[in-house]
Amino acid sequence: MRLCTLRTTGGEDVGIATAEGIVLLGTLNKVLGTDFGPTLHDIVTGDQRPGLEAALTDPAVRATAVRDGDPDFAPIYRDPAKLWGVGLNYTRHADDLEVRQPEGVPGSYLRPSSTIIGHGDDILLPRQSDRVTAEAELGVVIGTTCKDVPAAEAESVIFGFTTLLDMTAEDAIRINPRYIPWSKAFDTFCSLGPWVVTPDEIPDLAAIRISTVVNGRTIAANQVSAMMCDPYWQVAYFSGGMVLEAGSVIATGTPGAGVIQHGDVVEALVEGVGDLRNHVRSCAAPGL
């Protein structure tokens, strides 16, 4: 199953990809008299996937599907219980920052939900940084509140995977690594979406390729298999020390980051999951 959040004339609605096109959750509820959602966060946290999959088999629902070549995507949702980030999980990214990759356990940080934007939204470069980087990542969406999950069972608590663009005020980190939480916390510094893809849609997670692209040029790319700590290991490790609530998102690390400037277009390409694109604007630009 592939799900997204779309901007509509009435606000926002959940979109579900089908062979016929995108089915809107609001329309599905009207046709069947159901009350799924109303948000993607509700679907994730409310264990609504089985009922929704059954509802999508109804021909009357499939008949409402719309083929739209340019959907108006919103962030998948805006208030995850935890928005957890993993750093230096690829050797290349450690090289970008001219630091040694940690051994055994990647760096990590928690960021506020005010950082979240979606596909097509603007990344705003803050006045307090002269060097901002963007990095493509695979995001893990937790579907079941959990604690102490073994890596072998991690897939059972994952609702799906999404694409993520993670921004960093890199000059702050170079002053002092303890500034990592601040360097990641600026508004618009975490783009999520446009799709959440359930694990059954991904035959080989390790083979997924993640690419950071700036102005059409690939800055860095690598597969999940090249991570120091794979997504299942991360779910196990971090759930060992804290509860991972349903709806939480883990950014699993980037193969490499690119410096971004006013006017740039930056993309995160995650094979089989989705392509995420944002424009870059400076807060110091005229009129801002």
CA distance from start to end of the chain: 40
Count helices and strands (H / E) in the chain: 8, 17
Task: State the pLDDT at residue 287.
Answer: 45
Task: State the pLDDT at residue 101.
Answer: 57
Helix (H, G, I), strand (E, B) or coil at 45: helix
Low-confidence ranges of the chain (pLDDT < 70): 91-102, 284-288
Task: State the pLDDT at residue 180.
Answer: 84
What is residue 285's DSSP assignment? Answer: S
Task: State the pLDDT at residue 102.
Answer: 63
* Model-wide pTM > 0.75: yes
Query: What length does the chain have?
Result: 288
What the chain holds in terms of domains, given with CATH numbers, is: 2-74 (no CATH), 83-282 (3.90.850.10)
C-alpha distances out from residue 62 to 35, 53, 55, Å? 17, 12, 9
Q: How many CA atoms lie within 13 A of 180 on its CB side?
A: 13
Dihedral-angle region of residue 62 (phi above 0 means left; psi in -120 to 50 means alpha; beta otherwise): alpha
Peptide bond preceding 59 in cis form (omega within 30 of 0) = no
Query: Which ranges in the chain belong to alpha helices (H)?
Result: 25-32, 40-45, 49-55, 59-62, 91-96, 170-175, 180-183, 231-239
The predicted-structure confidence for 159-168, as pLDDT tens digits, reads as follows 999 999 999 9
